[in-house]
Amino acid sequence: MELSASYLDGLAPPPPLELTSFPKHAISLAFEYTVILGLLRLAFTYVVPSIPTCIQKPVTFLIYASLSLKSRTFSLMNNSRPEKRDKGQLGWYDRTMPKWTPPGIFFPIMWVLIITPLRALSSTFVHSSAASPVTALATTKWLILHLAIGDVWNTINNVEGRLGVSALTVLLVLGSALNASCNYLAVSKTAGYMLTGTCAWLFIATNLIWNTWWINTRDGKRDILLPKKDGRRTRFIFEK
């Protein structure tokens, strides 16, 4: 069936894509994952085994709790939260949130008091079940991958403000969490159940992101699910 010229003239051309966006995100993800895993290998090969046995578990807990809270320290991209920056620079962040969005204070409470302890405690159980601290990394590396993916998502959502890309990539965040839970479950049922509990929250958060994308339109159109050229660039922290 042939389309008339008048019909084609009425269609808006697709926006040009920023082709450097995903490659940069992938590089940042690979760098963060490799560096954190390398540091963990050094820590559990030389440092943790050399300290008194009675404090090895608490130290392991603190290592994974710190990574859960501050993994973005090793990211090649800006992972700062919106509230940490000048509100005048956040015009793109003005978005309508779903009516069922939890109060703002709810999010730090969940991450600091529930999600982080569960991640750290489940990882400690994995180490306790493994033949050695280093062999445990074959399982906990999946949590590290999840954290690195989450940091890339933070950049896309909070810094770049790409609502469509955020909705697409948050599926990777949830999927990587489920994958980590399955791998933890194969080693320790207790660890697996603990980490699965964090997935319930991520499932809610994923629905929140998709609902936010759905209800936010401009001129009747939603943000596309791929990065477009619109003045917002994907940058490494060392780029101007």
Residue keyed to tokens 């949830």: 174
Report which DSSP code applies to 158. I
For 55, which DSSP code?
G
- At CA 146, angle to CA 141 and CA 149, rounded to 5? 125
Amino acid identity of residue 12, one-letter, is: A
What letters, b where the CB count within 10 A reaches 16 and e where it falls short, cover 159-196? bbbbbbbbbbbbebbbebbeebbebbbebbebbbebbb
pLDDT tens digits in sequence order for the chain, 240 residues long: 444 444 344 455 667 888 889 999 999 999 999 999 999 999 999 999 999 999 999 999 999 999 999 999 999 999 876 654 444 443 445 788 899 998 888 888 999 999 999 999 999 999 999 999 999 999 999 999 999 999 999 999 988 889 999 999 999 999 999 999 999 999 999 999 999 989 999 999 999 999 999 999 887 888 889 888 877 788 999 987
Question: In angstroms, rounded to a whole number, what is the distance separating the alpha carbons of residues 193 and 186?
Answer: 11
Kindly report the pTM of this predicted structure: 0.89
